[in-house]
Amino acid sequence: MLLDTGSLSTGQSTNFSAHQILCKADIIGSASVANIDQLPNPGATVYALPLKIGEGSGGLARIIGIINTRESGGGRDELFL
């Protein structure tokens, strides 16, 4: 789940229920992702490349979107950062 807001939870959450629900469903959530409105849905593949942090429960990641132009008759896929 990609969001362009600052957090998956609302307000000043202390129990982070949205995080817990997604985690139990094996869904990764990323907040503060820029330009996600420019990716077609469907029609893009998104990769999250996290920094390795020992014993961390979260951290920074580079998010890369690939627009699948081959499927729509284009000659190549386009990288979108």
| Domain limits, the chain | 1-33, 38-80
Q: Kindly compute the dihedral angle of the four CA atoms of residues 53, 58, 61, 64, in this order, to the nearest 10 degrees.
A: 140
**What string of pLDDT tens digits covers the 81 residues of the chain?**
676 666 666 667 676 677 777 778 887 777 777 888 888 878 888 888 888 888 776 778 888 888 887 665 655 666 655
pLDDT of residue 1: 66
- Distance (Å, rounded) from C-alpha 47 to C-alpha 80? 11
Q: For the full predicted model, state whether its pTM sits above 0.75.
A: no
E strands, the chain, in order: 44-50, 61-67, 78-80
pLDDT of residue 43: 83
Question: Do 61 and 49 touch, CB atoms closer than 8 A?
Answer: yes
Short-list 47, 46, 45, CA closest to 70 = 45
